[in-house]
Amino acid sequence: MNGPTTYLGHGTAAERWERARLFFDAKEYATAARVLEPLAQEAPEQLAPRLLLARAYYHSAQLSRAEAELRAVLERWPVEDYAQLMLGRTLERLGRAAEARPHLRMASAMAGDLPEQGPE
């Protein structure tokens, strides 16, 4: 018997989404990820659960999983600037700063945070 965690997967998708958000907001990131994993698999076309899953992985130091989820998000939504930023930050945390730089630059450019040009 799984004990107290058996309720995590019960309910409608909307109820599980709300449960995941509650765990995330309570900084119970690993538990939020456990709720979000099946939601993301059930509805891969939904961006919000996938981004929250990546964030939950990131905050619970499951960085390889965060990287994989963010790469999957960017494959489907290449113009998702927040995913670019998160991937860059994840790669930095993994000690891969050179690999992170293009993602961070892309996120800045997409968000309109371009470096100021001097007078010409």
Q: What is the pLDDT of residues 28-56, one digit of tens each?
A: 999 999 999 999 999 999 999 999 999 99
pLDDT digits (tens, 9 = 90+) for 6-33: 667 678 999 999 999 999 999 999 999 9
Q: With contact defined as beta carbons under 8 Å apart, do 35 and 61 qualify?
A: no
- Quote the CA–CA distance of 66 and 69 in Å, as a whole number: 5
Distance between alpha carbon 33 and the CA centroid of its chain, in Å? 10
The answer, yes or no, to whether residue 117 has pLDDT greater than 90, is no
CB atoms within 10 A of CB 58: 22
Sign of the Cα pseudo-torsion (35, 94, 25, 40, in order)? negative
| Closest by CA position to 100, among listed 85, 115, 110 | 85
Q: What pLDDT, on a 0 to 100 scale, did the predictor assign at position 56?
A: 98
Q: How much of the chain, in percent, has pLDDT values that exceed 70?
A: 88
